[in-house]
Structure 1
Amino acid sequence: MREGVAMTVRGRVQGVGFRWMTKMVADRLRIVGITRNNDDGSVYIEASGEAADLKEFIAAVRVSPTPSGRVDEVAVSAIEPAPALGKFRVVG
């Protein structure tokens, strides 16, 4: 069953390759969606995928997919899942 989440990630998540490493994790897990930097220094993510894959993706984001990053806080809320067609993209 497909699920979707919106996430705001705070910590040292800009300027450390966080969005690109998040994309690599998403691609490996067949997650579709987007990630972008926010003006307040956080990173925004919308992700959709099969429930088990999405759970693994969220866990990877929580511990920072990049070794030079640090995640202090992750706010997660459910959203309508995106269609399975498409890719995970870094925008903005």
Structure 2
Amino acid sequence: MMGVRLTAWVRGHVQGVGFRWWTRARALELGLTGWARNMPDGRVEVVAEGAEESCAKLLELLRGGVTPGRVDRVVERWSEAKGGLTGFVER
């Protein structure tokens, strides 16, 4: 079973504060694959694939207020998993 793909765009003070590293650690704990990358506009894009329950938990953690830096807003999009991802990387 492929599961789902969560794409989340995180806005706030999330670059240069260890946010991608923190996100990678949480995603690996949840058994997810994908990446987190800085975007030119200051957001961080998080793409995670795996079980829907695990992706939902990651989204909850991103919004949970215990991340490095400061999260002001998270916009998410759900889709079918595309597959082909291994591990979880910081881009």
The Cα RMSD (Å) is: 1.7
**Counterpart mapping for 1:29-68 below 5 A:** 29-64=30-65, 66=67, 68=68
> 2: CA distance between counterparts of 1:20 and 1:10?
16
What percentage of residue pairs aligned between the two structures are identical?
Answer: 37
Q: Could you tell me how far 1:85 is from its partner in structure 2?
A: 5.7
Asked whether 1:74 is paired with 2:74, we answer yes
TM-score (norm 2): 0.88
The corresponding residue for 2:89 is 89
Q: Structure 1 residues 64 and 47, CA, compared in 2 at 3 Å: closer, same or farther?
A: farther
TM-score (norm 1): 0.87
The corresponding residue for 1:19 is 20
Structure 1 residue matching 2:60: 3-state secondary structure: helix
Q: Residue deviations 1:37-86, cap 9 Å, x none?
A: 011111011111101111111101112553x4111111101233143761
> Which segments of structure 1 move beyond 4 Å, counting only runs of 4 or more?
none
Could you tell me which runs of 5 or more consecutive residues in structure 1 were left unpaired when the two chains were aligned.
none
Could you tell me which runs of 5 or more consecutive residues in structure 2 were left unpaired when the two chains were aligned.
none
